[in-house]
Structure 1
Amino acid sequence: MNVQGFSHVTINVKNLARSLRFYVDILNMKLVHRGRKDAYLEWGSAWICLQERPDMEDQCPQIGVDHVAFFIDEQHFWEAVQHLKANHVPIVREPTQRGRGLSVNFLDPDGTQLELHTSTLAERMKVWK
């Protein structure tokens, strides 16, 4: 098996239209395709699928993905944090130094935790060696 790298994340959402307003209008992701119950978006080299699943509302949120992290250059980090705050996006972990990078965690409209992070895995490992 010759895995080349990260491909995408699928996020289950309760209301596709509401989630698209957040991901496109606030996070500035590019809408590539919208179906009846799903949408595909790009953000730099990362892409995600939003899948409308209102029937999943009663499932335990601790099972499954804890959060999804996206890389951002450090030069754009503080501007992104201010953008999130200006749009009243819930911040669940204020900006902090994690390893050799800066990190901020926030929630989408369904409570899925997202993170913006400025370092690579190699940079993080240098801290733990």
Structure 2
Amino acid sequence: MLSTSQSSPSLQQGMLRRVHHIALNVKDMQASRYFYGTILGLRELQGEEVPETLKALFEAGEAANFVTPDGTVIDLFWKPHLEPPHPDPDKTFTRTGHLAFDIEPHLFDQAVEVIRQNQIPIDHGPVSRPTGRGIYFYDPDGLLVEIRCDPVL
């Protein structure tokens, strides 16, 4: 059980620098590579860019690595027999809420149109809030993904 005592050891604020990578298990590697690389436009790591620890999996087609513009790496691991608890994403329990990508406000409507034209299942949105706009949709494995932007000032 997690201790909430003030005397518990802890990392100081600022010690963690950034998210290094996010690892996702995917059922269909081809569909996921297309989704993250082509539809979302993330750059796939190739050759010497692939981490040494993942080269064998990469060469076997069991891993793919994408990098976001801020340098966060998204690792995809092929797990073809891994089934979600429920095939309906609305009824699937996961400890992951969603993966969110930020976009410039003037590009938001274009992103929404790309999602629609590719017939990506939309959970909800676009929504407008005081914090900006967002649209929520599903990747090929049912992970909820958001594209959001800051409000136009």
**Do they superpose with TM above 0.5?**
yes
Q: Find the aligned partners of 1:5 and 1:99 in 2 and give their Cα distance.
A: 26
Aligned residues: 120
1:24-82 CA distance string (max 9 Å, x none): 12111111047031111023113311111123214463122121111111111111101
Secondary structure of 2:45's aligned partner: strand
Q: Is 2:88 the partner of 1:88?
A: no
Residue 3 of structure 2 is matched in structure 1 by none
Superposition misfits of 4+ residues, deviation over 6 angstroms: none
Residue 35 of structure 2 is matched in structure 1 by 22
Gaps of 5+ in 1: 124-129
Q: Find the aligned partners of 2:84 and 2:111 in 1 and give their Cα distance.
A: 32
Secondary structure of 1:54's aligned partner: coil
Bigger strand fraction: 1
Task: After superposing the two structures, state which structure 1 stretch, 38-47 or 57-66, moved more.
Answer: 57-66
Q: Is 2:76 the partner of 1:50?
A: yes
Deviation of the 1:93 alpha carbon: 1.0
Larger radius of gyration: 2
State the identity as a percent. Answer: 28
Q: Is 2:124 the partner of 1:98?
A: no
